[in-house]
C-alpha cells in the first residue's frame, strides 16, 4: 500500500471546500508515536508536513511519522476490520457476500431503540 496520491488529496479538498488545510492527528502505524500531519495547498502544489498518510480503504486513514516513512515507505501489516452480518440465515463476512447482497447491506440503516424524547 503506497501513500496517498495527489489526486486523492485534491478530491478531499473538494469534499471540504471550507477547509484551508487538512489535518490528521493520531499515532504512527509503525512506532505508535503521536503524529500530526497537515496538507496545505501552495501555489506550487499541495505541501504535506509531519509524515505520510495512507488510505487503504476510502476514509480509513493510517499515518506514518517521517522517520518510519524513510525506513519503510509502504504501509504493510495493516488489517481491515472484518464485518460479519446475517445473510440468508447465516452469519458470514460481508466481504464474501455477492454484489447484490453487499449492495443491500450498504442500504441497511441503523435504528435507534430509544424512544425519541
User: Does residue 53 touch Zn ion according to CB under 5 A?
Assistant: no
What are 90's three cell numbers? 447465516
| Nearest distance, CB of residue 64 and Zn ion, angstroms | 6
Q: Nearest Cα to 52, choosing from 11, 19, 9?
A: 9
Among 2, 6, 23, 31, binds Zn ion (CB under 5 A): 31
Nearest distance in Å: CB 4, Zn ion: 17
Binding to Zn ion by residue 28, rule CB under 5 A? yes
Question: Angle at the Cα of 27 (from 49 to 106), degrees rounded to 5?
Answer: 100
Per-residue contact flags (x/-) with Zn ion for residues 75 to 114, judged by CB under 5 A: ----------------------------------------
Nearest to 84 by CA among 96, 72, 75: 96
Name the residue nearer to Zn ion (CB basis): 53 or 65.
Answer: 65
Region of 4 on the Ramachandran plot (φ > 0 left; ψ -120 to 50 alpha; else beta)? beta
The footprint of Zn ion (CB under 5 A) covers 28, 30-31, 65, 68
Amino acid at each position: 500500500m503506497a501513500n496517498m496520491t495527489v489526486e486523492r488529496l485534491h478530491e478531499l479538498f473538494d469534499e471540504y471546500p471550507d477547509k484551508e488545510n487538512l489535518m490528521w492527528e493520531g499515532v504512527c502505524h509503525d512506532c505508535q508515536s503521536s503524529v500530526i500531519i497537515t496538507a496545505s495547498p501552495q501555489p506550487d502544489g499541495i505541501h504535506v508536513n509531519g509524515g505520510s498518510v495512507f488510505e487503504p480503504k476510502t476514509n480509513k486513514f493510517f499515518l506514518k511519522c517521517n522517520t518510519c516513512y524513510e525506513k519503510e515507505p509502504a504501509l504493510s501489516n495493516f488489517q481491515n476490520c472484518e464485518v460479519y452480518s446475517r445473510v440468508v440465515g447465516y452469519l458470514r463476512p460481508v466481504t464474501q457476500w455477492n454484489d447484490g447482497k453487499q449492495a443491500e447491506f450498504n442500504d441497511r440503516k441503523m435504528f435507534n431503540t430509544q424512544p425519541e424524547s
